[in-house]
Structure 1
Amino acid sequence: MTSKTTGTRTSKLVNEIPPSGIRRFFDLASSMDNIISLGVGEPDFITPWAVREACISSLERGYTSYTANAGMLELRVEIAKYMKKQFQLSYDPKSEIIVTVGASEALDIALRAIVDPGDEVIVVEPTFVSYAPLVTLAGGKPVSVGTTVETNFRLMPEQLEKAITPKTKAIMLSFPNNPTGSTMTEDELRGIAKIVEEHDLLVLSDEIYAEMTYDHTHASIANLSGMRERTILISGFSKAFAMTGWRLGFVTAPSDITSAMLKIHQYTMMCASTMAQHAAIEALQSGMEDVKKMVQSYKQRRNYFVKSFDEIGLPCHVPGGAFYAFPSIKNTGLTSEQFAEQLLLSERVAVVPGHVFGSGGEGHIRCSYATSLDNLKEAVTRIERFMKSLK
């Protein structure tokens, strides 16, 4: 029997998708000593004790079986209460909420539920590295719309209008944004919503950082007139509740969309972790004071970090949310890849080159300030030393 040529045994579609640019630098940094990592977007806080205790208790009581595919009804009820109280959004816990294995799964099954082969999905960039690949894996075509620092990385209505074609099915939004930390107000989103309605589009709104909005109240496009029925809202517990390793997210959407998503979820995941769901109930019932303390700390770090970047010659817009700074490195003459690699090798500071986040990202680096203030101060010292070595 003759063997098949190398490379033909795996999907051409998958072969053409590049690996995550974030993981490359994280893996490189993990093999080095004396590293300050500003690369991975993960809270440096430990999951609150009451949440961990609820998980332990569920194990001790023997709650180790499957839950309903959509998640425990008790948890979905708590999510509905939370969305109403925090964001003034109403969803039926029985038919409009699905508990998922992280927000990442929610994004995946949302796209697969709405995209037909050849459909175009507008991806607003810079943005998280998984969006365009997920569109491709769903059979669609990602269409990039790049934002710039001149508009604080906000999406302008005219940009959206220009990108729409007869094949456009949906638009993916992420505010507060990863990697830029940019946010959009209700008034700014209203211009986007008008165009979405005019062209009969859907919106996938990734609001995983909603609780981390520092300078104004978080605005969800789903709150605007006519938009709730067009919006698939993605969120979860990873960022606000410091529960990244628990892998627990959720999606809220009109019932016809959640019904389609649930089919995919049933066949791929069955249900999210039972113990994690018990922990999430506790997080929603008692965790908001911990969230507020963490957000207050992030804001303090943001203020220090942005001011420091400006002082050492790396202009940085003020991120309105999330926990990322996105300073410009254009005045160094280096590409973002060159800057990140040389900084890592010479000063042992790990950052992510902006180009991995799509159009508009080149000329910037993403630096997470989800680490201690002491680490941030040492990182600034090292980056400043690196900057002086370039002169």
Structure 2
Amino acid sequence: MRQIPGAWHRTAAGAGLVGSDGSIHPTIFAEMSALAAETGAINLGQGFPDEDGPPEVLEAAREAIARGANQYPPGRGIPDLLSAVAEHQERFYGVRLDPAREVLVTAGATEALAATLLALIDGPDDEVVVFEPFYDSYAAVVALAGARLVTVPLRWPDFQPDLEELARAVGDRTRVILVNDPHNPTGAVFTSEVREEVVRLADRHDAIIVTDEVYEHLTFDEPHVPIATLPGAAERTLTISSGGKTFSTTGWKIGWVTGPAELVSAVLAVKQFLTYVNGSAFQPAIATGLRLGDGFFLGVADALRAKRDLLGTGLRAAGFEVSVPAGSYFTVADARALGATDAAAFCRELPGRAGVVAIPLTAFTTAERRSEYATLVRFAACKRVDVLREAASRLADAH
């Protein structure tokens, strides 16, 4: 019988899908969503909205389908979306890009991250520095690429990295510093000191900075600041984002990579053998979204801020300690006061106990640091207000 390729084993292990005995088990997200369906619990685990995006964006997709935009688009993306991404970067951040050379459309930010890391990593001597807890695909793709994952911990309650620990993590073997800001799963927005230190270390060790900025328009205290705007950063930074979170179209999977032409071309060289192209009718729709007025972008942040506050109030009433997020869909709460010693076990009990589903923060950590996050739980606030109110009520009643 033909052996399963080693790359598969590395990826599955990096994603936490392989047990010590070699058995395969589902991700915690699949498990918790199944529990929600089985018990009728409110699913605050997975980070997707339960409301549609702006009507103009949805109508643009319908119009694109009607006029025949149903075949392969150009490999880099349709020119109108490439231009819209470039316009967006200049409008919000003052970053000027050549849309034909410095922008690439991808199948969501997840494919952008995969294609980028596969393009940049040369082999097992390369290291990728990430902040832990981390979005679960990071470890999987680093493993697939055959590199070494090096993590810098973010600790309760503010989830800002220690700059000395960051400096120790970055060295001459560091190929990529991967920065997710605003951060999933913690909701942290990194300080200017953290961003500046990332740039300093990347320059010192000749590393490339890759940023995951999908929550860029969902910050609550101050506007998002891309690392690429810092002095000395642009020439060594690839910026990744997508339309899914901003426009509540997570299922469309329209993302993009921007940065120096030679780096973007390297990503394209890999991307063309992954999805080749994607989302022909959705690309013009996301272009429409990126050109919406300032009121829309301010409105989505304001609406999510109100949901964050509603969820936080409910969690406190239920006995949780709460870390107030500065951005993203997510709120992290400490269940220690509720008797939790194992976040995964607590989350498996929560649907039956309170009729609510959440995700243990240990799902986003390495085995070595799991104990540091043992009682922390992530809740998603990107649901309808009435759903969040009902979830808060259920949690309080179960307290």
Tell me which residue corresponds to 1:347: 354
Q: Which stretches in structure 2 are left out of the alignment for 5+ residues? A: 18-26
How big is the shift at 1:378? 2.0
Tell me which residue corresponds to 1:121: 128
Structure 1 pair 53–128 and aligned structure 2 pair: CA distance change class (3 A)? same
Structure 1 pair 273–288 and aligned structure 2 pair: CA distance change class (3 A)? farther
Distance of 2:343 and 2:349 partners within structure 1: 10
Alignment partner of 1:371 is 2:352: no
8 A Cα contact 2:314 2:393, kept in partner: no
Distance of 2:115 and 2:297 partners within structure 1: 28
Distance of 2:155 and 2:297 partners within structure 1: 30
Worse-matched range after superposition: 65-74 or 279-288: 279-288
Distance of 2:374 and 2:89 partners within structure 1: 36
Counterpart among 140, 144, 163 of residue 133 in structure 1:
140
Amino acid at match of 1:16: A
Alignment partner of 1:13 is 2:10: yes
Alignment partner of 1:218 is 2:224: yes
Give the total of aligned pairs: 382
8 A Cα contact 2:8 2:144, kept in partner: no
Tell me which residue corresponds to 2:20: none
Tell me which residue corresponds to 2:30: 23
Distance of 1:329 and 1:369 partners within structure 2: 17
For the residue of structure 2 that corresponds to 1:274, the secondary structure is coil
Structure 1 pair 87–9 and aligned structure 2 pair: CA distance change class (3 A)? closer
Structure 1 pair 15–372 and aligned structure 2 pair: CA distance change class (3 A)? closer
After superposition, residues 12-161 of structure 1 pair within 5 angstroms as 12-17=9-14, 18-19=16-17, 20-33=27-40, 35-118=41-124, 119-150=126-157, 152-161=158-167
Tell me which residue corresponds to 1:357: 364
Please list the CA deviations of residues 2-42 of structure 1 after superposition, one character each: whole Å capped at 9, or x if unmatched: x568x789943245342432222112222332x21101111
Task: Give the TM-score normalised by structure 2.
Answer: 0.90
How big is the shift at 1:53? 1.4
Amino acid at match of 1:242: S
Distance of 1:254 and 1:289 partners within structure 2: 31
Distance of 2:373 and 2:246 partners within structure 1: 25
Structure 1 pair 187–13 and aligned structure 2 pair: CA distance change class (3 A)? closer
Alignment partner of 1:283 is 2:289: yes
Amino acid at match of 2:71: S
Amino acid at match of 1:313: G
Distance of 2:193 and 2:208 partners within structure 1: 19
Distance of 2:256 and 2:356 partners within structure 1: 34
Counterpart among 262, 269, 274 of residue 268 in structure 1:
274
Alignment partner of 1:240 is 2:246: yes
Distance of 1:166 and 1:197 partners within structure 2: 11
Structure 1 pair 201–304 and aligned structure 2 pair: CA distance change class (3 A)? same
Task: Give the TM-score normalised by structure 1.
Answer: 0.92
Amino acid at match of 1:111: L
Please list the CA deviations of residues 303-322 of structure 1 after superposition, one character each: whole Å capped at 9, or x if unmatched: 22223323432111210001
8 A Cα contact 1:343 1:386, kept in partner: no
How big is the shift at 1:274? 1.1
Amino acid at match of 2:352: L
Tell me which residue corresponds to 2:180: 174
Distance of 1:276 and 1:8 partners within structure 2: 34
How big is the shift at 1:212? 0.4
How big is the shift at 1:125? 0.9
Structure 1 pair 319–8 and aligned structure 2 pair: CA distance change class (3 A)? closer
CA root-mean-square deviation: 2.0
How big is the shift at 1:116? 1.3
For the residue of structure 2 that corresponds to 1:249, the secondary structure is strand
Please list the CA deviations of residues 267-305 of structure 1 after superposition, one character each: whole Å capped at 9, or x if unmatched: 222212210111112112236544433321111111222
For the residue of structure 1 that corresponds to 2:71, the secondary structure is coil
Distance of 1:259 and 1:167 partners within structure 2: 23
Worse-matched range after superposition: 128-137 or 284-293: 284-293
After superposition, residues 288-303 of structure 1 pair within 5 angstroms as 289-303=295-309
